[in-house]
Amino acid sequence: MVGSVVRDGEVSEAAWAVIEPLLPPVGRARGRWRDHRQVMDGIVFKFRTGVPWRDLPERFGPWQTVHGRFARWAADGTFDRILAAAQTRAEVDWLVALDSTIVRAHQHAAAKGGSRSALGRSRGGLTSKIHLACDGRGRPLTFTVTAGTRNDCTQAEAVIDAIRVARPGPGRPRRRPERVVADKGYSARSFRAYLRRRGIKATIPERVDQLAGRRRRRERPCGFDRSIYRRRNVVERCFHRLKQWRGIATRYEKQPGRYLAALTLASTLIWLDT
């Protein structure tokens, strides 16, 4: 279960109070009003359970309406605005953990488009990769989706650069974590230099080859605090919560932008649940 915010595929009253003001005005569909609440419940149910769009229960209305509105909100940035509002309401822990996870792509997600499809082929089949930064309480801050064969460190700067949490009152959004915690996959000299330029502390263990090179050059290893590094497991817990949504754990959407929108919706409900 994702928590008290979502129960049987329906959004709670507390979550809906945050979401509703950020949705576009309700329009007409074939002469009848189709309530946003009903549609949002259908979208959440679809990605929590992983059912095909055509198999949505009748209580959510015509599946074409639910799918069409999801596609529209994914394209116009509605889900991004809702996530930003949820983050603004919360108190963020600025020790940021960084990691990635592989998700298998269903055969329905396979489509022509090369690298634009964010799919990679390996011995395990078609996969995508979620690159994610979460706060110190395991809540998703930013993320990107790439082909499953993409190296983790190639997306590290993009993920950190995308952090932007608006302040409840006046002032610029906060964009700089106090510290970044990541595993050896992010121990690239270029990424460490990027963090230093931005004044962000790093807790990243060095690889064996890097340590050997430093010994040959008689250089001191980078500072590393094991007690802080233990907090990196918050990102593993974050992935665990996201993958409780079957439509996130397996990618069914052909368009990467729509899969990213589903990930954004799941992340929003994690923020509203804490």
pLDDT at 216 over 90: no
Global pTM? Answer: 0.88
Query: What's at 2, amino acid-wise?
Result: V
| Close Cβ partners of 31 (under 8 Å, ≥ 6 residues apart) | none
Structure confidence at residue 111 as a pLDDT band (50, 70, 90): low
pLDDT at 2 over 50: no
pLDDT at 9 over 90: no
User: Any idea where the domains of the chain sit in the sequence?
Assistant: 93-250
Q: Give dist(CA 66, CA 26) in Å, integer.
A: 13
At 170-185, the pLDDT tens digits run 889 999 999 999 999 9
Where b means 16+ CB within 10 Å and e means fewer, 46-68 reads bbbeebebeebeeebbebebbbe
The CATH number assigned to the domain with range 93-250 reads 3.30.420
3-state secondary structure the chain: CCCCCEECCEECHHHHHHHHHHCCCCCEECCEECCHHHHHHHHHHHHHHCCCHHHCCHHHCCHHHHHHHHHHHHHHCHHHHHHHHHHHHCCCCCEEEEEEEEEEECHHHCCCCHHHHCCEEECCEEEEEEEEEECCCCCEEEEEEEECCCCHHHHHHHHHHCCCECCCCCCCCECCCCEEECCHHHCCHHHHHHHHHCCCEEECCCCHHHHHHHHHCCCCCCCCCHHHHHHHHHHHHHHHHHCCCHHHHEECCCCHHHHHHHHHHHHHHHHHCC
Structure confidence at residue 27 as a pLDDT band (50, 70, 90): low
Supply the pLDDT for residue 143: 97
